[in-house]
Amino acid sequence: MVRWTRSARIAPGKFIEAIKWAKEIVEFTNKKYGSQVTAYLDSFGEFGTLRWFADFADLATLEKQQHQLNADREYLQKVSRGTEFVVVESIFDTVMRAI
C-alpha cells in the first residue's frame, strides 16, 4: 500500500474559500476518477493547514492517476484556482509506503 498526501497552508483571510475549494477538489477527483481522496484541516500544530490523502495499491497505480490528473484540463483549472486560497510556497507532497 502507498499513501499520497499533499499539504498546503491557507492564505491569510481565505479560510472559508480554501475549505470550499479543498472539498471541491476532493469531490471532483473522487467522482471523475473513482478515487478515495479525503481532505482534513489541522486542528493542532500548524493550524490552517489543509491536507489531502489517498491510498493506492502500489506506486504504479499512483503514477497512473497522477498522469490522468495532469492531463485533465478541468482538474488543472480547479487546482490552479487554489493559488488564490493557499500559500503556494507551502504546498508539499509526500508519498509513503506501508511497512
Q: Is 31 exposed, middle or buried (0-12, 13-18, 19+ CB in 10 A)?
A: exposed
Q: What is the pLDDT of residue 47?
A: 83
Range of the domain at 17: 2-97
Q: What is the pLDDT of residue 45?
A: 80
Instruction: Give per-residue pLDDT as tens, 18-67.
Output: 999 999 999 999 999 998 999 999 988 878 999 999 999 999 999 999 99
Q: What is the pLDDT of residue 7?
A: 96
Residue 60 near residue 2 (C-beta atoms within 8 A) = no
Q: What is the pLDDT of residue 44?
A: 86
Rounded distance, CA 45 to CA 58, Å? 30
Angle of helix 73-81 relative to helix 59-70, nearest 10 degrees? 80
Q: How many domains does the chain have?
A: 1
Residue 52 near residue 37 (C-beta atoms within 8 A) = yes
Q: Is the pTM of this model over 0.85?
A: yes
Instruction: Give per-residue pLDDT as tens, 7-21.
Output: 999 999 999 999 999
CATH for 46 = 3.30.70.100
